[in-house]
Structure 1
Amino acid sequence: MNKLIILLLIGLFLNVQVFATQVPDSVITLQVDLKKRVQVIENIGSSGCWFSEGIGKYWPKEKKERIAELLFSKQFESNGQPKGIGLSAWRFNIGAGTLEQGDKSGIRDFRKRSDSFLNLDGTYDWTKQAGYRFFLQQAKNYGVETLIAFSNSPPINYTKNGLGYKTEKDYQSNLKADAYGNFAKFLTTVVKHFDGLGLHFDYVSPVNEPQWDWSHKFGEADQEGSAWRNEEIFRLTKALNAEMDQAKLSSKILVPEAGMLTYLYSRSSTASHQIQDFFGKKSPFYLGDFKHVAKIVAGHSYFTESNDDVLVNTRKFLADTVKKYQVNYWQSEYSMLADGFREGQKTDRSAMDCALFLSKVIHTDLTIGNATAWQFWNAYEPGSALVNTRYHLIALQGNAEFTDGSFTATKNLWALGHFSRFVRPGMTRLLTEKLTDSKDQADKNLLVSAYLDDMGKLVLVAINSGMKDVKIKIDLKNTSHNYKNGTWYLTTSAEDVNMLPEKISHLDHRVSLPARSISTLILE
C-alpha cells in the first residue's frame, strides 16, 4: 500500500493531462511549480432533483439521514475513511406545480412532477416541497458552503399552456408575455422566504437548458422544462435583478445553464453564442451591468465527451472565450446522459468503468476548461449500483409509491468525492510540467491535477484508467515547505475500497498508481 500511496502523491502535482509510458520500469518526472497558479475553485456539488421529495418526505429517518451523510459529511470513520463526500454546493429545485396536476400534468413519471410554493389563487404554501426542504436543511446543517436555487419551468400559473413544459416546438419560452415580472417576483419571494429561515441561497438560476423544446411527439414530457431565446433570458434576468434589488437580497443570478457547452460560445440557435451575447459589452443583451448577475457562465457538459478529442477541444474553445470575456465557467450539471461513457463498447459498463469516465470528465473540465465549479446532476436516482451507473451517485430501489426503499452508494459517489471532499472552496489549481520525454508511446490513461490552499496544504487527485500501474516522480518547485508526510485515499473496483485511507510517513518522491484506480493524496 505504501507504494501505491507514493504514486498518488506524484499525481498531486500534475494538474494537466499526463502521458504515461507503457514500459513498467520507466518513470515520468513531473514538475509542480507552486507559483504557477490557475483558477480558484469555488465549489464542487450536486443536485437533489425529483427524487428528494419522496425520500425526504416519506422514507424512514435513518435511511434519509444516511443518504444526507453520504453526500454532505466531512467527518471520518474510526479507520480514517470519509463518512461522506463533503459536497460544497447543493442545488435545490424550485418546482413549477405539476405535482398537484397529477396525470393531467403530462409528465409521465409521477416522481418527476414537482410541487410549487405558489398556489393557483396566488397565495403561498411553505409546507410544500417537504422532501426537498429536508435535504436543503441537511446540507445547511452539514455546512455545505454554497446553496443554489434553480427553476426548470415558471409556475404553471404563469405558463402559456398551463403546463410545466412546452408542447410547441418553436423554441420560445413557455412564460406568458405579461408574466415576466410575476415570475421574477415569485423567485424573489422564494429566496427571501428561505433567507428568513437561515437557508440563504447564494445563487438563483431562473432558466435551465434553454436550447431544448422539452416536449415529446405524443404531447408528454419527462420533466418540467421550457425553451428560452437569449432575448427572453435577458428580459427575465433584468426583471429578476430589479425585484431582488428592491427586496434587498444579496443573492446572485446564475445564467444561462446551457444544455451543451458549445452553446456557450458558438452560434447555432436563438439560445447560443451566450457568453458573447450576455457578457459582450456591445451586445443588446449585455448583463454585466446588472448588480445581481454573477460574472459566471453556467453550462452543462452533456454530449461533449463522445471521444477524447471532443472532450478536450470543446473545453479549450470554452476556456479561451471565457478568458476573453472575463467571466468564470461553472460546469453546473452533468451525468452520463449520452453514450460517450461506453467508450466504444457495446456491452454493459461496470460501476468502476463509469467512475473512471466520470472522473475524466471532471478532470478535463477543471484542467482544460478551467472550471471554477463542478456539479453533478442527480445525487440519487432509481437504477443499478453495479452496471451502467450513468445517472446517479446513489442508486435507489423504491417501492411502487416511492414511500420507502433501499439505496446503495455507487463508485460514482466516491469518484466525485475524490474531488469534492478535499478540493475545497478557495483552493487554487496548480500547473505542472513533464520534464522527461519518453521514447515509448504516450498513455492518456493517467490524469492528475494539483491544488493548494492558503495554509500550504497540497492536494493531488490522480486517475489511472489503464490496465497497468504507472510510476511517477515529482519535482516540487518554488516551495518553502518540506512535504514528507500525508494521507493517501484510494478507490478501486474492490467493493470495500472506497476512498480507503493510508498514512504516509515518508515520501521519496516516487509513487506507483495502481491500474484502474482513483486516488487523492493530501500533504499538509
Structure 2
Amino acid sequence: MVLRKSKKVDKKLITCSLVTGLAFGVLAPTTSKVFANDETVNKVNITQENITQEKIKLDPSYQHAPFDGWGTALAWFANITGGWPDNIKNELADALYSESGLNFNIARYNIGGGDSSETIPYMRKGGAVPGYWNRPAEYGPPNGSTENWTEQKNWWNPETPEHWNWSADANQRWWLQAAKGRGADTFEAFSNSAPYFMTQSGYVSGNWNPWDDNLKPDQYENFASYLTTVVGHLQQDMDIEFKTLSPINEPNTGFWKAKGKQEGSNWSPASQAKIINEVKKQLDEKRLSTSVSGMDETSPGHFRHDWDQYDSAIRNNIGRLNVHTYNTGDRIAVRDIAKGTGKPLWMSENDLGHGGDGQNHEDIRPGLALSERIQADIQQLEPKAWVAWQAIEDEVNMDPQHENSNWGLMQVDFAPKDPSNVKINKNKKYYTMGNYSKFIRPGDQVINSNNQNTLAAIDSKNNSVVVVYTNSSSEEKSINVDLSGFESVNETSAATPYVTSAVDNVQKKEEIKISDKTLSTVVQPQSITTFVISGVSGVNKNNIFLNTHDKYTISSVNSGKVLDKGLDGKSIVQKTYDRDKESQQWSIQKVTNGYSTKEYYKIVDTASGNVLGVENGSAVVQKDDESAVNQKWMLSTYGNQEYTFINAQSENLLDVSGESKEEDAPVGVWKPNAGSNQVWKVVKAGI
C-alpha cells in the first residue's frame, strides 16, 4: 500500500458512481455475467467518416501462464465494514466477489500487528488492524495507570495459550468467509508490521527514522512464529487455505515512520532475507502447505534492487514473487527474473487515485487510467494475478476537503451516523475493473498483440478470445482486430462488445459478425470495450510473430547496431547494419513444443549453422548441441517487436557490455536490469 498515506499513498482504488435503478443481469451459462441492463442491446455506430484507424494483430503463439485471477487486499476497509449490519456488508461483498459483481476470486488477508492498549489512536480509519496477541493483566499497567510504569520486556511467549486472542479481527475475518462463500478460491496472508512489543519504536507504524529497521534484532523467531501460527490457526478454524504468506510489505522504501497513519516497517535486504528464511523454516516445521511470497516491493525497480542482494538460498525459499506497481519502471526486469527462476509472479497490489480533476464518481478518466495500468502491467510483467489495494475507500477522506481523489473502486463513509443506511458509491473504476475481471477468468491465458491499448486472453475451454481495448482519446476509433493468427476462425464467429464510458457501465452492445478473420468496428471516445469473440481456437503456425523459416536481424535498442560475429569468428559483437552481410542474419528456432511464454529457442547463425551460446559470461557461436543448456534461450516480449533473450543456464539476459554504443562492443549476458542494452529489436532480414 504505497504510502499514500500522507504523501505516499494509502492505496486506494478509484472513485465510484452510484447508478440508480440498476439491476444486475445474467447471460447464458457459457458467458460471464455482466452488469445491469444486459437485455438492452445498443448498436455500435460504425458509419462515421474520418475516424482514426487502428490495426491490431493478435498472437496466440505467445501464451502467458494460466491466469490465477483478480482480487483485493482486505485490511482497512474490511476492518471497518466487516462490523456493519448484514444488509450493507453483504451488498458490498456481492459487489466485489459475486458473479453479479466483479467476480473477484482472490483475497489478501492482512495479519495485523497491533499497537499497545495504552497507545492513543493515531491511524487513519481502518488502519489499526487488530493483532492476535493477548497481554495478560499481570503484564499491563497496575490499576490501569501508566504513571511510572514500564512494560516488561519479552513478556510474550508464542507457546503460552493465554498470550493469544483468537477472537481478534472479527471484521476482517467476516470478509474472508464472505469472499469464500461467494466463490473466492485463492487466499494470501500478508503482514505490514510485527506487533508493537517486537518493534524498536514501540509502534507498528515504523521506526523514528523511517530508513531504520523496526523489528528488534532478537525478535525474528518470535515474529515468524506469530505469522505462521496465525496462518495455521485460521486455516484450521475457518477452513481457508492460505496458499502464500508474505511477511513484509514495501520493505525498503523509507515510507514507514513511527506514528504514521498506517502499519509499516522498513527492512533492509539483509533483514528481508533473515525473516524470509525464518518464516519458511517455521512453515515447514508446522507442516503447512503455505509457501512464502515476497517481497511486495512498492515498484519493480525497488523489487529488482532488493532481489539482486539475495543469495540463492533466500531466492529458493520464496515460492512466489510479489511486486507492486506504484512506479512502473523495470517491469520487464522483474518479468525476466520470474521467468528465469521459474517462479510465478503476481502484481499483488496497486491502485490509482489520479485521473480527472479530483473526487468524481462519474468521471471516466480515472477508469481509463486504471485500464491503462492493468493493460501495461499484464503485458509487461506477465503476472498470474492482478490484485487491487483497497477496493473500498473512505468517501469522506476522498472528498475535496481532504484528499480530493479517486482511490477505491467503491467509496463509502467509513464513519457513518447510521451503518445500516450507508450510500455505496461505485465509480467508473469499478465498472472498468468489470471489463477485465468478469471476462478474463482464472485459467484463461493472456496472449500478445501488437497494440499497447489492447489486452487479449484466450479461453480454450470455450474456443473464445477476450479482447479489451482502451480508447483514452476524445475521438472515436475504427479498429480492425486481425484473428488470422488462430488456426481456426469459424464462419459463425462473432464478437459481443461490453462498453464502459461516460454513459455506459459494462453495457452489452449489438453482436458484430467476424468477416475475413477480422473484427472491424468503431469504439467510443474515452471508453473501455471488452469484446468476447466466439469460435476461435488453435495457433496458425504459418502466421505468427516469429517464424522458424524466416531470417532476422537482431539489433540493440540501445545502440541500433546488430548482432554479428567478431573477427575471431566465434565471439559476438554489435556492428553497424549491413543489409548484404549474412553473418548478421539469424534464424530463431523453437526447441520445445508448446506456445507458452516459457518455450526455449536456439538462435542460429544462418551463415555457419552454428548457434548462439554462452561461455564464461560472453556470447559466442558454437557447434549445435541439443543437450547444451547454455545454447537455449527463452524469449520475452509484449508484441512490439522488442525482445529480451534469457539464457537457460545462467538465467541472465543477452546484453551489450557496459551499455556501449560503440562498433564491435562485446555482447555477453548479465542479470536483468531493464536496460535498453538488454532489449533487442527482431526484424525480418532485408527489411
Both structures adopt the same fold (TM-score exceeding 0.5)? yes
Match of 1:329 among 318, 338, 345: 345
Does the Cα contact within 8 Å between 1:5 and 1:502 map onto a contact in 2?
A: no
Is 1:452 the counterpart of 2:458? The answer is yes
User: 1:393 Cα deviation (Å)?
Assistant: 0.9
Per the alignment, in what secondary structure is the counterpart of residue 496 of structure 2?
A: strand
Per the alignment, in what secondary structure is the counterpart of residue 370 of structure 2?
A: helix
1:72 is aligned to 97
Is 1:61 the counterpart of 2:69? The answer is no
1:201 is aligned to 242
Is 1:479 the counterpart of 2:479? The answer is no
Task: Please tell me the residue identity of whatever aligns with 1:71.
Answer: L
Is 1:412 the counterpart of 2:425? The answer is no
1:33 is aligned to 59
Per the alignment, in what secondary structure is the counterpart of residue 174 of structure 1?
A: coil
CA distance in 1, matches of 2:295, 2:49: 46
Does the Cα contact within 8 Å between 2:362 and 2:428 map onto a contact in 1?
A: no
1:370 is aligned to 382
Is 1:125 the counterpart of 2:141? The answer is no
Task: Please tell me the residue identity of whatever aligns with 2:371.
Answer: S
Task: Please tell me the residue identity of whatever aligns with 1:454.
Answer: S
Percent identity over paired residues:
25
Task: Please tell me the residue identity of whatever aligns with 1:334.
Answer: N
The equivalences for 1:69-468 within 5 A come to 69-74=94-99, 83-98=100-115, 101=117, 103-104=119-120, 107-121=122-136, 122=156, 123-169=163-209, 171-196=211-236, 197-215=238-256, 220-265=259-304, 273-278=305-310, 281=312, 286-290=313-317, 293-294=318-319, 296-304=320-328, 314-336=330-352, 341=355, 351-383=363-395, 389-399=405-415, 405-433=422-450, 447-455=453-461, 456-468=463-475
Per the alignment, in what secondary structure is the counterpart of residue 224 of structure 2?
A: helix
1:203-255 deviations in Å (ceiling 9; x for gaps): 11110111234455xx5211111000111111111111111111111111111
The 3 A distance-change label for structure 1 pair 102 and 419 is farther
Does the Cα contact within 8 Å between 2:207 and 2:213 map onto a contact in 1?
A: no
Tell which deviates more after alignment, 394-403 or 87-96.
Answer: 394-403
CA distance in 1, matches of 2:240, 2:254: 32
1:436-491 deviations in Å (ceiling 9; x for gaps): xxxxxxxxxx7111101231221111111111111112221232241623532211
CA distance in 2, matches of 1:214, 1:473: 45
User: 1:25 Cα deviation (Å)?
Assistant: 4.3
CA distance in 2, matches of 1:251, 1:424: 23
CA distance in 2, matches of 1:24, 1:41: 38
CA distance in 1, matches of 2:395, 2:125: 16
User: 1:176 Cα deviation (Å)?
Assistant: 1.8
User: 1:287 Cα deviation (Å)?
Assistant: 2.1
Greater helix share, structure number: 1
2:498 is aligned to 489
Is 1:516 the counterpart of 2:523? The answer is no
Does the Cα contact within 8 Å between 2:203 and 2:259 map onto a contact in 1?
A: no
User: 1:378 Cα deviation (Å)?
Assistant: 0.4
1:440 is aligned to none
1:249-272 deviations in Å (ceiling 9; x for gaps): 11111110112221122xxxxxxx
Does the Cα contact within 8 Å between 2:43 and 2:510 map onto a contact in 1?
A: no
1:307-336 deviations in Å (ceiling 9; x for gaps): xxxxxx542344344444444432211122
Per the alignment, in what secondary structure is the counterpart of residue 191 of structure 1?
A: helix
1:321-359 deviations in Å (ceiling 9; x for gaps): 44444444322111225x6x46xx799896311110011
- TM-score, length of structure 1 as denominator length: 0.80
Does the Cα contact within 8 Å between 2:44 and 2:509 map onto a contact in 1?
A: no
CA distance in 2, matches of 1:248, 1:168: 37
Does the Cα contact within 8 Å between 2:74 and 2:110 map onto a contact in 1?
A: yes
The 3 A distance-change label for structure 1 pair 347 and 101 is closer
User: 1:412 Cα deviation (Å)?
Assistant: 1.0
Does the Cα contact within 8 Å between 2:359 and 2:399 map onto a contact in 1?
A: no
1:14 is aligned to none
CA distance in 1, matches of 2:190, 2:272: 14
Does the Cα contact within 8 Å between 1:351 and 1:386 map onto a contact in 2?
A: no
Tell which deviates more after alignment, 45-54 or 513-522.
Answer: 45-54
Per the alignment, in what secondary structure is the counterpart of residue 76 of structure 2?
A: coil
1:121-151 deviations in Å (ceiling 9; x for gaps): 4522222111101111111111112111111
The 3 A distance-change label for structure 1 pair 349 and 86 is closer
The 3 A distance-change label for structure 1 pair 118 and 500 is same
Does the Cα contact within 8 Å between 1:165 and 1:214 map onto a contact in 2?
A: no
User: 1:6 Cα deviation (Å)?
Assistant: 8.8
Structure 1 spans left out of the alignment, 5+ residues: 8-21, 75-82, 266-272, 305-312, 435-445
Does the Cα contact within 8 Å between 1:490 and 1:519 map onto a contact in 2?
A: yes
User: 1:277 Cα deviation (Å)?
Assistant: 2.9
User: 1:520 Cα deviation (Å)?
Assistant: 1.3
The 3 A distance-change label for structure 1 pair 481 and 172 is same
User: 1:190 Cα deviation (Å)?
Assistant: 1.1
The 3 A distance-change label for structure 1 pair 493 and 392 is same
Does the Cα contact within 8 Å between 1:276 and 1:325 map onto a contact in 2?
A: no
1:307 is aligned to none
Does the Cα contact within 8 Å between 2:361 and 2:428 map onto a contact in 1?
A: no
Tell which deviates more after alignment, 478-487 or 172-181.
Answer: 478-487
The 3 A distance-change label for structure 1 pair 245 and 516 is same
CA distance in 2, matches of 1:165, 1:347: 27
CA distance in 2, matches of 1:161, 1:5: 62
CA distance in 2, matches of 1:89, 1:263: 24
2:561 is aligned to none
1:310 is aligned to none
Task: Please tell me the residue identity of whatever aligns with 2:347.
Answer: Q
User: 1:164 Cα deviation (Å)?
Assistant: 0.9
Per the alignment, in what secondary structure is the counterpart of residue 165 of structure 1?
A: coil
CA distance in 1, matches of 2:253, 2:52: 49
The 3 A distance-change label for structure 1 pair 464 and 501 is same
Does the Cα contact within 8 Å between 2:496 and 2:532 map onto a contact in 1?
A: yes
User: 1:373 Cα deviation (Å)?
Assistant: 1.7
CA distance in 2, matches of 1:319, 1:103: 42
- TM-score, length of structure 2 as denominator length: 0.62
Task: Please tell me the residue identity of whatever aligns with 2:314.
Answer: L
CA distance in 1, matches of 2:526, 2:336: 32
Does the Cα contact within 8 Å between 1:148 and 1:201 map onto a contact in 2?
A: yes
Give the paired residue count: 457
Runs of 4+ with >6 A deviation: 345-350, 384-387
Does the Cα contact within 8 Å between 2:57 and 2:449 map onto a contact in 1?
A: yes
